[in-house]
A = this chain, B = another copy of it.
């Protein structure tokens, strides 16, 4: 196992009717900015619950945060934060709203050009405190220190990390998932699944508990995910998917083990260029990533095959082929497509994405930095 330091200070309030907790979590004298997206929180009742919980607080609103949240939109919120001297941000939404809110929280107190936080890795020295009411389980952003922001003008999609933007609390009410469209449920399940594989399908460092926890998340998503599209969907099923998504990317399963993230880096370029949803890109890339890097990932691929899918027969290559097929079938079972052609994209994508990867310095990706541009090209070509 590798040495690590781990902490996660986010207080989780999990369950139905927990949105009322925000009134206790946010200081009464705070000027609160509620950030959200396109307004679905108004039709599903979440907005009303939040406003009711904050009836004693001074509240401002900023809406219109888009999927793959943009720098441009975020900076409008930063102006509002400064103008109104906001001192608490409450993100109400999924990963996009929470990611944008993290960037807003950091940018509002940043000395200089905030884009440098993303493009140059400039250090975040402070941020406005924030909390989250999660409406779409997927990214884990509600209890981690990361965010990904896109610049529309340049088609850049870049991440940053700072302990200062870790949410102080997060409300996870599984019943909010009942109003989500299938496409968002598919995205959430696949995103959580591939967050887990990015921290699990690497090489073995004898981190046995981390492996068991990762496998536990994968097994839970495989068992519960497909139910979200049937009449077996209950708040318990919602809750199991939601809690899995949080645990998939709150720092726990990645502590003390190598991490990959090559699938994400390639996926980000596809989203930035072709506007596919984040999880849609991951589901295209991962199966071919597993195959392309099967030698360096062999031990973990076989462990994954055995423990998660019960595949124990056959030679190494056939077991790896079988587990990749199982993985792709699972994505299909949660209504997720796995080919560029499913989105009417053809071989033109290959050169374009390779060029973007090169431009962003993504020439050696993965847990051992072995995913060269040639590997990425092979993966993209095989994924058409």
Decide: A12 and B1 in contact? CB cutoff 8 A. Answer: no
| Partner among B5, B18, B208 whose Cβ is within 8 Å of the Cβ of A12 | B5
Identify which of A207, A209, A210 gathers the most chain B CB atoms within 10 Å of its CB: A209
Residue A355 is within 8 A (CB to CB) of chain B in the complex? no
Decide: A4 and B14 in contact? CB cutoff 8 A. Answer: yes
In the complex, what residues of B have CB within 8 A of residue A93's CB?
none
Residue A217 is within 8 A (CB to CB) of chain B in the complex? yes
Q: Which of A226-282 contact B (CB under 8 A)?
A: 236, 239-240, 243-244, 247, 255-256
- Taken together as a complex, chains A and B put the C-alpha atoms of A160 and B209 apart, in Å, by 29
Decide: A11 and B5 in contact? CB cutoff 8 A. Answer: yes
- Size of interface on A: residues with Cβ below 8 Å to B: 42
In the complex, what residues of B have CB within 8 A of residue A210's CB?
243
The smallest beta-carbon distance between A222 and chain B, in angstroms, is 11
Residue A215 is within 8 A (CB to CB) of chain B in the complex? yes
In the complex, what residues of B have CB within 8 A of residue A3's CB?
14-18
Residue A43 is within 8 A (CB to CB) of chain B in the complex? no
Binary contact track A3-28/B, C-beta < 8 Å → 1, others 0: 11111111111111110010000000
In the complex, what residues of B have CB within 8 A of residue A4's CB?
12, 14-15
| Partner among B11, B12, B244 whose Cβ is within 8 Å of the Cβ of A209 | B244
| Partner among B208, B220, B239 whose Cβ is within 8 Å of the Cβ of A223 | B208
Decide: B206 and A216 in contact? CB cutoff 8 A. Answer: no
The smallest beta-carbon distance between A260 and chain B, in angstroms, is 21
Decide: A212 and B206 in contact? CB cutoff 8 A. Answer: no
Decide: B215 and A209 in contact? CB cutoff 8 A. Answer: no
- Taken together as a complex, chains A and B put the C-alpha atoms of A31 and B379 apart, in Å, by 58
- Taken together as a complex, chains A and B put the C-alpha atoms of A123 and B160 apart, in Å, by 41
Decide: A206 and B236 in contact? CB cutoff 8 A. Answer: yes
In the complex, what residues of B have CB within 8 A of residue A6's CB?
11-12, 14
- Taken together as a complex, chains A and B put the C-alpha atoms of A12 and B5 apart, in Å, by 5
Nearest to A10 among chain B residues (CB) is B7
In the complex, what residues of B have CB within 8 A of residue A18's CB?
3
Pairs across A and B, CB under 8 Å, 12 listed: A1-B15, A1-B240, A3-B18, A4-B14, A5-B12, A5-B21, A6-B11, A9-B9, A207-B240, A210-B243, A212-B220, A216-B216
